[in-house]
Chain A
Amino acid sequence: MQTKITYKGYIDGVYGIYCGFCPENIEIEEEVTVYYPDENKVFIKDGEEYDAVVLKEGESISDYDEVEVTE
C-alpha cells in the first residue's frame, strides 16, 4: 500500500484538483490523503473493490482488505 497527497485549491481564480503533486502558485484549500493498493492488488470493503481509497469520516484504512486481483 502507498499513499499520495491530493491538493485542492485555486490558481488564478480557477478551482483545481492536483493529484500527487503540488503546483507552486496554488492557494491550497484542502489536502487529501489517497491510499493506493500495491501492484496487482485492490482494496475490498463490504464486497466492493477499490483501486484507490479516500477515507470517509470515521473510517480507517484497516477497514479495507488488500487482496490480489483475480481475472
Chain B
Amino acid sequence: MTLYKGTQKVCPIVTIEPTLTTKTITQNGTYNASSDNADGYSSVTVNVSGGGTKYGATGGTFLGDVDADGVLQVTNTSLTTLNFTGVKDIADRGLMFRFCYVGIGSGSNMTYTEFRGFNIEYATFTDLEQISGERACHYAFERNPLISISFPKLETISGPYACTGMCCNCTSLTTVDLSNLTSISANNVFRLTFDGCTSLTSVVFSKLSVMDGSNIMYRAFKGCTSLQTLSFPTLNSNSFGSSTNQFSQMLNNVTGCTVHFPSNLQSVIGSWSDVTSGFGGTNTTVLFDLPATT
C-alpha cells in the first residue's frame, strides 16, 4: 500500500508497543516474562541482596522480625539460648509472659495451644544485680524446654511477685543458679516459680540471708517430683522480719525432699506451722545440720 500526504509519498511506520513497561514485584522469586516483551527474556528472577531480617515490628513492645519480603515472622522459634548482657535490673512486668507458651482460658480451665513462641533451653542473666519490678519475670519462661537458668550476679529481689511462675512447667530444668542471691524483701517473690519442674533435683540458696516478706516461697517447688534437697546455709535468726509464713506450702505435691538449715535456726523456725507440716510436702525431712550462722 502507498500512502500520500498531499502529493508527497509517505513511508509507512509501524510501531509495536510493549504490552507492559512497568511490573510491580512484591516478593523475591522468578516471574514469567514471555508475554511482557522483555527483550526476548522468557523469565525474570528478582533477588534482593542482603536477605534475612532487616526490620522489626514494634507496638510499645517488640513483636517480631520482618524478613526481606515483608513477611512478619512474629518470633524466632529457633532461638534456644538467651544471654542478657548489660541488664542490671528488671522493671515492673519487664519480662512478664515474654517467652512463655500461649494460653487460652482462665483458672483451672486453662488450656494451651500448640503455638510455642520460643524454645529457650538456656537463659543467663549475666549482669543482673537486682529485680525491683513487680511481676518482673511473671511466668516469663513458662513451658519452655529450659535446661538451665542462671543469675550469677543477682543479689536482691525487692519486687512483689517478681518471679511468680517464672519457670512453671519447664520439665527439663535441672540447673538453677541463684548463687549470689542475698536478700528477698517483698511478698510472694518465688510464688509457684518452679511449679512442675519435674527434672529439678536440688537448689542451694548459698548466700540468702534476708527473707523479709510474706509467702515468699509459696508453692515455689510445687510438683517438683524429682526434688531431693533444698539448702539455706546462710539464713540466720534475723533473716525473717515479722512474717512466719515465708515457706508456706513450698513443697506442695513433693515427696521425700530434705530441707537443710543452719543448726541455730531450730529455735527460730522449728515451731513454725509450715515447717512442722513439712512445707506441704509428703514425708518431708527438715534437718538443722548446717553450721550455725550469726
A contact set with B: CB distance below 8 Å? 6, 8, 14-21, 32, 34, 36, 50-54, 71
Contacts and interface: CB of A to CB of B under 8 A. Distances in A.
Question: Which of A14, A20, A34, A51: most chain B Cβ within 10 A?
Answer: A51
Contacts of B281: 19
Prevailing SS type, chain B contact patch? mixed
A21 B284 CA distance: 9
A51 B167 CA distance: 23
Given A51-B248, A51-B249, A51-B252, A18 B285 contact: yes
A18 B258 CA distance: 9
Contacts of A52: 273-274, 277, 280
A19 B277 contact: yes
Contact of A16 (B108, B274, B286): B286
B107 A17 contact: no
Contacts of A20: 278, 282-284
Nearest to B269: A17
Interface residues of B, number: 25
29 contacts: A6-B276, A6-B278, A8-B276, A14-B288, A14-B289, A15-B287, A15-B289, A16-B286, A17-B275, A17-B276, A17-B278, A17-B286, A18-B286, A19-B281, A19-B285, A20-B278, A20-B282, A20-B284, A32-B276, A34-B278, A36-B277, A50-B273, A51-B248, A51-B249, A51-B277, A52-B277, A53-B273, A71-B107, A71-B108
Nearest to A12: B289
Given A8-B270, A51-B249, A16 B285 contact: yes
Contacts of B266: 15
Contact of B276 (A15, A50, A54, A71): A54
A61 B277 CA distance: 15
Contacts of A18: 285-286
